[in-house]
Chains A and B, each alone.
Chain A
Amino acid sequence: MATATADMIDYPKIAKGALGAGVLTLVLASLVVGIETISAPTGITYDTRYTAVFAAAIGVAIVYFLAQLLKAGKPAIPLIAGAVLLALTLLMALAQTGEWEIARLVPFESPVVTWAIMLVPLSLVIRAGLVTWRSSPASVGKPAHERIHFADFYRRINTKFAILLIVVAVALPFMPFADRRLVDVATLVLTYIMLGWGLNIVVGLAGLLDLGYVAFYAVGAYSYAMLSVNYGVSFWFALPIAGTMAALFGVILGFPVLRLRGDYLAIVTLGFGEMIRVIIINWWWFTGGPNGINKVARPSFFGLEFDRSPPEGVQSFHTFFGLDYSPNQRVFFLYFVILAFALLTNLFTLRIRKLPIGRAWEALREDETACRALGINPRNTKLTAFAIGAMFAGMAGSFFAARQGFVSPESFVFIESAIILAIVVLGGLGSQIGIVLAAIALIGLPEFFRDLQDYRMLAFGIGMVLIMIWRPGGLLAHRDPTIYLHKTKAHSAAGAGAQP
């Protein structure tokens, strides 16, 4: 770490650090990147790709050097060198994408990787540009803390922003650019928003770290799928049953473990999540095993089906309203269903925060011992949070089953729990709108890069780490209790902002 002031830069130290970073890259990449194992019918052979390793090591060393200079307050060299690097990587990426003759000189195999690497000098140049601009005469005199903070800004426009989001969400399917794909992605994002809001009750409000939330999602999905396939129960009747089943599971699982604290609870919930998946896979005569359950009925609009030619005695949506048949009608309908569900979850959370039970959750999160002393029963209070969170997951799960038309254990792996938790934490614990933003960033954006399927999860992971480092408290960080005993000026401002 170079902590030297702007006047005295310890160049040898930075150079040593850069050399170290380069050597470290070389060591890390030496086997896993440098040598490619090739599975052949006769066994396993290998191939080398050391140009990429050396290029990466040199690149890391240079970028480290420039970044440290920038940190020390010398933006000139990083700006120029970063621009050169940017031009170089851009050229390489263009050459590879356009399959020019010189492309074989590029050390990286895939154009996607080269394009991604281009982002590094790009961000360096932007950072250096910002530093230069801030130290320019025009902006001298303005103290740094006067810059508008994202969270403060959000607090000011909070309610308006929420209404705007809802209006946009309602109007989305009717926009001229809205095609089926966009609405499909929006439906997926809304499903995760609903799950995020549900999990937020458990993690954000009650402060219970649940790493197996997807288990309740699975219970809801399978409840509806089995009711629908075995007994022909319609979606709207099955929905409360699925929610209740999931809540019941929440209570059953929660009862023995909720007296555990923090990370013990985390690992046990993780274990339960995996157990439910293993049971679904192996209890094949009941759950369909790894193949799952097919032909789950789609939801109807007050008894009107969305089929081109519905079964005898059932009216279809398009004939009832005198419209032409379009498969989009079902897609749009499902979108509005999940939008309504998600808003319901949100409304519930907003209201319950004002009830004694919601306040007990927040109090319990802040100090369990004090709660005990004040006569709050921690176990029952936690159990309620767990059960209600599970109920929303169950409802989202039955929607998922209805939308897909089939369920299989593959949809309920641990990574789903991790993604939902990531949405809650990245959004800023307890912040309802933060969850919307995080879900759009983590679920919506990658959906439009489906072509880069292989790199999607890698980018997802990098995004998670970078957002956490950039904003450790989440995008919209605040964790203030909803109410205060003594409202000071600062608190009342924050408290009012914290409500939606």
Chain B
Amino acid sequence: MEVFLQQLINGLTLGAIYGLIAVGYTMVYGIIGMINFAHGDIYMIGAFNALIGFLVLFGLGVSWAPLAIVIVLIITVMITAAYGWTVERVAYRPLRGSTRLAPLISAIGMSIILQNYVQLLQGARNKPLQSLIEGGITILEHDGYAVTVRYLQIGIVVVTLALMIGFTLLITRTALGRAQRATEQDKKMAALLGVNVDRTISLTFVIGAALAAVAGMMVLLYYGQIDFYIGFLAGIKAFTAAVLGGIGSLPGAMLGGLLIGLIEVFWSGYFSVEYKDVAAFSILVLVLIFRPTGLLGRPDLEKV
């Protein structure tokens, strides 16, 4: 029971991070129907920006953790959002309206570029960061096994929740959200009705990258080390999460992220660490066989 509870807490934290990345995938897929392969690497760029931001702040003498975290969060989100915008502008916008595979190949190319860009500039080695938020609350203790919730875990889940609420409001209540939903349904019609389609798509990428940046910073704080390759696996898992939840559906992405996080943590806890990725993919295949549109996805009606 104690082990179960502890794994549940760890799984929720990991799932929250996957969910944040998955939202970026699902939004882009929903609006222009492409798999943004570079999204995982945008998240990696976010983590690196956060790491360098912390180093510089410590170098400047800002050592009070909450202040440092807030400053770095703002800087990281802004710079990483700029990366999201640039990637869309350079590699995807020129390909709008061409075949379905062209943007996919361009995205894979962009992913390779971003990985090697960071590897060349920052080196291939693991980059460690000292722990900034220590401690936690012990909620249960039994037979010498204590179930603890780290403050950092609480922070991650709370920030994720806040972002999700804010994001849902953005989509449902604001003009931008309305424009996004309109573009998603019918680009041509939206453009006729005065929606700036290019700008809406750009902003979708910017928002996705900003969320990925937050996820990258959380991972940096949570695990305390990053390298240039973290984007690949996290990207695949987050995309799996998006598909599991039903691609194009925002609550689905969050749900999928949580599920993938939980599956991974429980599988490593109870079975074997080595096969945790296999477990996540197997669940995905099982779900897709019985619900081909994912858990919360709308069935895709086919037009002849």
Contacts and interface: CB of A to CB of B under 8 A. Distances in A.
B176 interface: no
Contacts of A33: 121
Given A46-B55, A272-B281, A468-B105, A36 B113 contact: no
Contact of A279 (B55, B232, B278): B278
Contacts of B126: 39
B247 A36 contact: no
Contact of B277 (A31, A278, A422, A429): A278
Nearest to A263: B35
Nearest to B50: A31
Nearest to B277: A278
B21 to A, nearest CB: 14
A419 to B, nearest CB: 9
B302 interface: yes
Nearest to A271: B281
B288 A37 contact: no
A266 B35 contact: yes
B106 A469 contact: yes
B99 A37 contact: no
A32 B118 contact: yes
Interface stretch (B7-15, B89-97, B146-154, B167-175): B89-97
B141 interface: no
A36 B118 CA distance: 10
Contacts of A464: 105-106, 108-109, 112
A278 B123 CA distance: 26
B112 A457 contact: yes
Contacts of A259: 292
A119 B272 CA distance: 51
A32 B48 contact: yes
The range of chain A's interface size is 35 or more
Contacts of B53: 31
A261 B35 contact: no
Candidate in A35, A261, A461 with the most chain B CB atoms within 10 angstroms? A461
B303 to A, nearest CB: 9
Contacts, number: 184
Contact of A30 (B79, B112, B115, B272): B79
Contact of B247 (A263, A271, A460, A473): A263
A262 interface: yes
Contacts of B120: 454-455, 458
A170 interface: no
Contact of A472 (B82, B102, B125): B102
B69 interface: no
B109 to A, nearest CB: 3
A465 interface: yes
B285 A46 contact: no
B134 interface: no
Contacts of B32: none
A325 B212 CA distance: 59
Contact of B59 (A46, A257, A261): A46
B52 interface: yes
A278 B116 contact: no
A27 interface: yes
B27 interface: no
B281 A36 contact: no
Interface in B254-273: 272
B90 A465 contact: yes
B215 interface: no
A422 B111 CA distance: 13
B78 interface: yes
Contact of B275 (A278, A468, A469): A278
A80 interface: no
B243 A264 contact: yes
A425 B112 contact: no
Interface string B24-52: 00000100010100000000010011011
B65 interface: no
A261 B299 CA distance: 12
Given A31-B49, A267-B240, A465-B90, A458 B117 contact: yes
A264 B288 contact: yes
5 contacts: A257-B289, A282-B272, A282-B274, A425-B101, A461-B111
Interface of A: 24, 27-28, 30-33, 35-37, 39, 43-46, 203, 209, 256-257, 259-264, 266-268, 270-272, 274-275, 278-279, 281-282, 367, 369-370, 414-415, 418, 421-422, 425-426, 429, 454-455, 457-458, 460-465, 468-469, 472-473
Given A28-B86, A275-B278, A465-B106, 14 more contacts: A27-B82, A32-B52, A35-B52, A37-B51, A37-B122, A39-B126, A257-B285, A260-B292, A261-B292, A425-B104, A429-B101, A458-B116, A464-B112, A465-B110
Interface of B: 29, 33, 35, 45, 48-49, 51-53, 55-56, 59, 75, 78-79, 82-83, 85-86, 90-91, 94-95, 98-106, 108-113, 115-118, 120-123, 125-130, 232, 236, 239-240, 243, 247, 272, 274-275, 277-278, 281-282, 284-285, 288-289, 292, 300, 302, 304
7 closest A-B pairs by beta carbon, nearest first, are A464-B109, A461-B112, A472-B98, A271-B281, A461-B113, A458-B116, A465-B109
